[in-house]
Structure 1
Amino acid sequence: MATNKWFLYLGVTWTILFAGMSFYWAVGGMIGVRSLGGAVYEMSLNPTPSFVAIVWLTGFIKLLGVVLLMMLLIKWGNSRIQKALYLITRMTGLLLFLYGLLNFITIFLSTVGVLNFELDRYATFWRLVFWEPYWMIGGICYFFSIRKTRE
């Protein structure tokens, strides 16, 4: 296995920024929350302790991505570990990309009247131009941060 350090470091940066947003919101920051729309925005206006705990937890879960990507820099002697890291990183990238893409498609379909979502125009705009593409960019970074080599 070989790493593509450009994508790997971009993925680490993407992940830290993503986790940082959760930590910022967990301490009560409100910049950008309205762009999420829906129930998350509504809950953030008067957050319960359990909601704040979930936001903190999501930030820490996101940071696990940094651990995963940094593990790719280690020269593992065990080929099983290398194969597992390859599969986990590729699957993570694929799932991040698909999550963003499918959300993008469904939100877009709601804007043209095919689906009915409870998402205001402001949140719809930001979900289509920032949030869903952000997920897809992260997926691309993870997916291409590692590649198979001929052994």
Structure 2
Amino acid sequence: MSYTASVWMFVFAAMSFYWALGGTTGLNTVSLGQEVTGESWFIAALWLTGILKVGGGLLALALVQTWGQQIPRRLLLIAAWGVGAVLVIHGGDFVIQGALTEAGLISLSSPTAWTPDHWQTFVWGPWWLLGGLFFCLSAWNYQLKSRNQQFR
């Protein structure tokens, strides 16, 4: 599961770096999308999130690679569970807000056929939730495995 979480993070990092370098494919599916393309703060945010995602991918690998044993067990567990929780909360927020919008309890800023809000509800939210589940399962597996090795 850790390898899956790692690949998941590296794919997201590649998307951030692609957009930071000026790519526009898929950019209209995120909230700010093309409205802020080229603005320096947005490009900096994309670079920062890309670097954080690479760090997340390395964290997931640290749970299963021998070099990860150099990192204190408690630190790895706190980081892995923390990343998993943040991803689940982030994805859940997208899905919940989207469900409230679809139910008519929240109104869209611009009623169009397919908006970034729809992308967040039906694509990005579930995708972030999936990544969070990958991380939580990775943390759980590492916790069980490393606990068994500690008591030998």
**In the alignment, which residue of structure 1 is the partner of 2:89?**
98
Task: Measure how far apart 1:77 and its partner are.
Answer: 6.8
Q: Which amino acid aligns with 2:20?
A: A
Aligned residue runs from structure 1 range 74-85, under 5 A: 74=66, 76=69, 81-85=72-76
In the superposition, the TM-score normalised over structure 1's length comes to 0.81
Task: Measure how far apart 1:131 and its partner are.
Answer: 0.5
Change (3 A) 1:63 1:114: same
Which stretches of structure 1, 4 residues or more, deviate above 2 A after TM superposition?
73-78, 116-122, 146-151
Secondary structure (helix, strand or coil) at the match of 1:126 reads helix
Aligned residue runs from structure 1 range 1-150, under 5 A: 7-37=1-31, 39-44=32-37, 47-72=38-63, 73-74=65-66, 76=69, 81-118=72-109, 120=112, 121-146=114-139, 147=141, 148-149=143-144, 150=148
Task: Measure how far apart 1:133 and its partner are.
Answer: 0.8
In structure 2, the gaps of 5 or more residues are none
Larger RCO (CA under 8 A, 6+ residues apart)? 1
**Structure 2 CA distance for aligned equivalents of residues 129 and 145 of structure 1:** 25
121-130 vs 86-95, which moves further: 121-130
In the superposition, the TM-score normalised over structure 2's length comes to 0.81
The question of whether the paired residues in 1 share the 8 Å contact of 2:59 and 2:80 is answered with yes
**Structure 1 CA distance for aligned equivalents of residues 50 and 109 of structure 2:** 26
Secondary structure (helix, strand or coil) at the match of 1:144 reads helix
CA deviation digits over 1:86-143, x for unaligned, max 9? 1220121122012101221012212222123436533232222211111011101111
Secondary structure (helix, strand or coil) at the match of 2:106 reads coil
In structure 1, the gaps of 5 or more residues are 1-6
Q: Aligned Cα RMSD in Å?
A: 2.0
The question of whether the paired residues in 1 share the 8 Å contact of 2:94 and 2:124 is answered with no
**Structure 2 CA distance for aligned equivalents of residues 92 and 145 of structure 1:** 11
The question of whether the paired residues in 1 share the 8 Å contact of 2:30 and 2:120 is answered with yes
Higher helix share: 2
**Structure 2 CA distance for aligned equivalents of residues 54 and 95 of structure 1:** 18
Among all aligned residue pairs of Structure 1 and Structure 2, give the percentage whose two residues are the same amino acid: 27
